[in-house]
Every structure is written in structure tokens, then in C-alpha cells.
Amino acid sequence: MIDREHYIPGPASGAQVRKDGETWTLVLVRELRHSPEKVWQALTDPAHLREWAPFEADGSLGTAGTTVKLTTVGAPTPHVSETTVTRADAPKVLEYKWGGNDIRWELEALGQSTRLTLWHNIDRRFVSMGAAGWHICFDVLDRLLGGKPIGRIAGGEAMKFGGWQRLNAEYAKQFGVETPGGASRPRT
């Protein structure tokens, strides 16, 4: 059993960047050993989001047209943004904005498992940081759904967590971007 103190994220994988001029979209794919219905609940239910996501929601994200306040966690000054769920086709597609960025979740059944794909428009300067942060959130989500929660690791706490700096550098190299605060990486 892995507890929080012994958790070390695996290597950077399952991510890519789609570039359209200045608009960059981080695409992360993870296979979870849980049903789409169980994953959907974790993506939409405020109680579940408090356990793994980098934000808290004051209401369910499971219904299109619903307006919800999302509050970042782990930041020195929490940022609150109001969002409207633009698409909620349970348990397949969920779309909304977070901090002005488009978020799209796609869930695909794979037998008893789910292929979870996150599409997140993100400032290219922070794409490797975003990938590292979501990577850790996905690990926390997988353990939560498996009944072995290790607690949310997000924001500044994630950046201090063992393995985050390595993930940030690995994703920066994969994406051909500069590591924020670090040396330039060759473009691929």
C-alpha cells in the first residue's frame, strides 16, 4: 500500500500539446481502473473534487447550464472564478471554463476501465507546470477511486512535492519548451 509519504509520481507520459498560433492545448490521457460512471462522479461531485482536483466547486458540474464557483487550492491567494457548464453528457463528455481556460473531459469505456482525456487550454509558458500538476492530480484521483486515498496534492503544495520538479522538466523537454525559471529546451 502506498501512502502519501511514500508516493512518487511515475515518469511523464500520456501528454501532448496541440498548438494553434498562440493558443496551446494540453492533452493528457490516463487509463483508470474504474468505470466511466465512477470517474464521472469524481469529475462532477463537489465532495469528490475536494479530494483530488486543484480547485473546489460550490456545486455539481454534472448538468449543462449550471453556474458554479470554482476556487483554486494551494495558491497563496485563492482565485475564485464563476463558470457555466457548457456540456455534460454523462458519463462521456464534460466541458466548462476554469480561470478563463477551456476544460474538456472525455471518458471512454475500456471494459471495466476508463480512458480519461483532459483537454486544457493553457498559457504556453506554463504548459509543463500544468502537465506536472495534472499528472499528480490524476494519480491522486486513481488512488481515491481505488479506495486508497492519499489526499489532494495541488498548487504550491504539489510544486514542493517530491517528483514535481522532475515531472515539470520531463514535460518541458517533451513539449520543446523552456522550463519556467530554468534553461531553454530545444524545440522538437
Statement: residue 78 has pLDDT above 70: yes
- List the grid coordinates of 57: 466547486
Higher-confidence position of 186 and 143:
143
- pLDDT (mean) for 4-31: 91
Neighbours of 108 (CB within 10 A): 14
Where are the extended beta strands (E) located within the chain? 15-20, 23-32, 55-57, 67-72, 80-84, 87-89, 93-98, 101-110, 113-122
Count of CA atoms in the C-beta half-sphere (13 A) of 182:
20
Statement: residue 32 has pLDDT above 70: yes
Q: What is the pTM of this model?
A: 0.91
Closest by CA to 158, choosing from 45, 53, 25, is 53
- pLDDT (mean) for 13-37: 93
